[in-house]
């Protein structure tokens, strides 16, 4: 199997923000293309760091990363849609400015689809980001990402700040709008809510990959994803 059949190949990846305390410690794994991957693990296990490295936001790491056949760079960024767990749009942007911005830079961006989302979310295209609630800002960011036909989607806690009523809608939006045959990696703590959506799971803990397998394999063992999660994470799960 060559690099391109894998969405992500990671070899001996290590990253430490403080010397001697690695967040990711000599991690190696492959993610096959076309999967919906649940990235799970307790707080501080390196989920966000991993997603940032894959997206090209962190450069200071050791090891080798291949995203869609190339190292993180111009090509991988053109094929990767990254949703960080923070508001990243300029406060001076209006929704329509953000849409135009994405339309200018990403050839896979569908402006009409984005405008449809704006209507569906009852957003005012001329409202400035800084006057929006956190929930509205998250919706704008999500619609921008999901209006792309990317080969790889990296979503960091997209359901983290969302109330339970809106959670299902957002989850449906993600699952029904990501481009076909592309790979979707989604970090979350909501193992139960999302178990049915994943077909692959990557569990991180103590700086290592604890589980990297298909959800079918998990089910074959007669366990639920949550059982496996609790089993491998142990006491960290309770702290979480």
Q: Stretches 102-110, 164-172, 187-195, 210-218: which one binds another protein (CB under 8 A)? A: 102-110
Q: Cα(14)–Cα(23) distance, rounded to whole angstroms?
A: 7
Determine if 82 is a binding residue for another protein (CB under 8 A): yes
Determine if 56 is a binding residue for another protein (CB under 8 A): yes
Whether 99 and 146 have beta carbons less than 8 Å apart is answered as no
Selected binder of another protein within 7, 55, 185, 210 (CB under 8 A): 55
The gap from C-alpha 207 to its chain's centroid, in whole angstroms, comes to: 18
32/84 with CB nearer another protein: 84
Q: Stretches 52-60, 63-71, 118-126, 216-224: which one binds another protein (CB under 8 A)? A: 52-60
| Closest separation in Å from C-beta 73 to another protein | 8
Buried-exposed string 49-72: b where 16+ CB fall within 10 A, e elsewhere: bbbbbbbbebeebeeebbbbbbeb
Q: Which positions from 105 through 144 interact with another protein, judged by CB under 8 A?
A: 105-106
128 by Cβ neighbours in 10 Å (0-12 / 13-18 / 19+) ranks as middle
| Closest separation in Å from C-beta 232 to another protein | 28
Whether 15 and 23 have beta carbons less than 8 Å apart is answered as yes
Determine if 89 is a binding residue for another protein (CB under 8 A): yes
Maximum Cα–Cα distance across the chain: 52
Determine if 62 is a binding residue for another protein (CB under 8 A): no
34 by Cβ neighbours in 10 Å (0-12 / 13-18 / 19+) ranks as middle
Selected binder of another protein within 60, 163, 180, 238 (CB under 8 A): 60
- Residues in contact with another protein by CB under 8 A are 17, 52, 55-60, 74-75, 77-78, 80, 82, 84, 86-90, 92, 101, 104-106
């Amino acid at each position: 199997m060559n690099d391109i059949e894998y969405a992500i190949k990671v070899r001996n990846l290590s990253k430490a923000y403080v010397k001697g305390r690695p967040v990711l410690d000599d991690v190696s794994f492959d993610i096959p293309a076309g999967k919906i991957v649940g990235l799970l693990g307790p707080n501080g296990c390196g989920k966000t760091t991993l997603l940032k490295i894959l997206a090209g936001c962190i450069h200071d790491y050791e090891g080798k990363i291949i995203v869609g056949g190339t190292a993180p760079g111009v090509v991988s960024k053109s094929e990767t849609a990254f949703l960080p767990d923070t508001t990243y749009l300029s406060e001076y942007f209006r929704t329509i400015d953000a849409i135009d911005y994405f339309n200018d830079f990403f050839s896979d961006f569908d402006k009409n689809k984005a405008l449809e989302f704006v209507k569906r979310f009852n957003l005012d295209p001329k409202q400035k980001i800084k006057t929006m609630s956190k929930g509205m800002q998250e919706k704008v960011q999500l619609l921008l990402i999901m209006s792309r036909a990317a080969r790889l989607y990296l979503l960091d806690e997209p359901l983290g700040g969302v109330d339970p009523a809106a959670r299902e809608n957002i989850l449906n939006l993600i699952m029904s709008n990501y481009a076909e045959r592309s790979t979707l990696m989604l970090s979350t703590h909501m193992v139960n809510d999302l178990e049915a959506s994943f077909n692959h799971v990557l569990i991180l803990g103590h700086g290592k990959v604890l589980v990297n397998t298909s959800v079918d394999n998990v089910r074959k063992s007669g366990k639920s994803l949550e059982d496996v999660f609790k089993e491998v994470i142990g006491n960290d799960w309770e702290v979480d």
